[in-house]
Amino acid sequence: MKFAALPEHIQEKALAHTVVQGMRRRPRVFVDTHDFTAIDYGDIIVVDGRYFLVIAYTREGRFGVDDQPKPWVPKVSDLASGETHIIKLVFHEQFEVSFGDYSIPCYRNPEKEARVLELVQGNPRFMQGYGVEDEAGNLVRILDLIRGWRLDKYIHRFEMGHEEYFETVVPGILREFLESIKAIMFIHSHGLRHGDIRRDHIFVEYDGTTFRWIDFDYDFYLPERPFALDVYELGSILMYLVGRGNYYPQHVQKDPAMGQKVLDKLTVDDFSLLAKNRIVNLKLLYPYIPRKLNDIFMHFAAGTPVFYDSAGELAEDLGSYL
């Protein structure tokens, strides 16, 4: 489609946009998004009768790695309404994720993300949006922007010692996180996984109250334990929230309040079931953590006699603690 073929009022809005005004060319118009690498800043994507001007690209926030731009996830402006959205274009990717000695097949699954979006329509615990095919049949997802903090950044906003953080901040965070676990239970009950549960895949709205899950396009293949990885990652976030970080022997060693005396108490059973060098027995590091809460963490330990089979079991224990 040529730019001149767009409705006049859309052409006018596009030309008046600061992004387009800063360019030396007219925006190109894409009705077929399969080659997302061809779509550039200042181009227009036409889908579902809407006209989206690409104004930026989102970035992948992997921990410890410089953020990488995601060309298949442009940030766009709806030229009719002026609203900003995130658009996700089809990108099929398959890879293996290692957990200790084991590898799990993972992949991007746009169809699954579209199904989750449909299922959680109007549910405040999830990002909102919908999936729709472009003219060439590519499943585009149009997402609302969430204005808030990443959960892992949010918990570091409270400048206080750990004990005070644990006493004053953690209870509220855990109550909200319990609702996040219940939200995952809800999608599991419909046979769908989140697929990429991470501490930066919950956004805390700027009012500091509602936690929302984002990014549902990853998936994994574990036919006998279809939800195991989601459950494991929920446990990892829970421990991160309570500990205000992950703990490894080298950190304990360096911390003057812990050091060798704490390290000496650790046994292999105090480490994670899957991440062998991550400490899950947080009570050894922070003795004021109640036994009942620590017992939840120990379900994710290498030494656990019983692990959680479902998000529901985890929610039940956390609810009972709270």
Partner 1 sequence: MASIKNILISVNESETSLKAVRYVGEMSGCLAGLHVRLLHVAPEPPPYYYLEGNSLKDYVREKEAKAEEIFRAAVKILTDSGMPQERISTRTYIAERAEAISSAILKVQKEGNYGTVVVGKRGVSKAEEFLFGSISNAVAHNCASFTVWIVA
- Contact residues toward partner 1 (CB under 8 A) are 92, 94, 99-102, 104-105, 107, 109, 111-112, 191-193, 219, 221-229, 232, 273-274, 302, 304, 307
Helix residue spans in the chain (DSSP H): 8-16, 18-21, 110-119, 151-154, 162-164, 170-188, 228-243, 249-254, 259-263, 291-298, 311-321
Q: How far is the CB of 307 from partner 1 (least distance, A)?
A: 5
Could you report how far apart the first and last alpha carbons of the chain are, in Å?
A: 57
Comparison of 17 and 299: residue with beta carbon closer to partner 1: 299
Q: How far is the CB of 236 from partner 1 (least distance, A)?
A: 13
Comparison of 100 and 290: residue with beta carbon closer to partner 1: 100
Comparison of 198 and 244: residue with beta carbon closer to partner 1: 198
Q: How far is the CB of 273 from partner 1 (least distance, A)?
A: 5
Q: How far is the CB of 299 from partner 1 (least distance, A)?
A: 10
Q: How far is the CB of 117 from partner 1 (least distance, A)?
A: 17
25: amino acid identity, one letter: R
Comparison of 102 and 288: residue with beta carbon closer to partner 1: 102
What are the start-end ranges of the E strands in the chain? 29-30, 44-47, 50-60, 68-78, 84-88, 94-99, 102-108, 129-133, 139-144, 148-150, 202-205, 211-213, 218-220
Helix residue spans in 103-169 (DSSP H): 110-119, 151-154, 162-164
Comparison of 108 and 244: residue with beta carbon closer to partner 1: 108
Whether the CB-CB separation of 133 and 139 falls below 8 Å is answered with yes
- Coil, strand, or helix at residue 256? coil
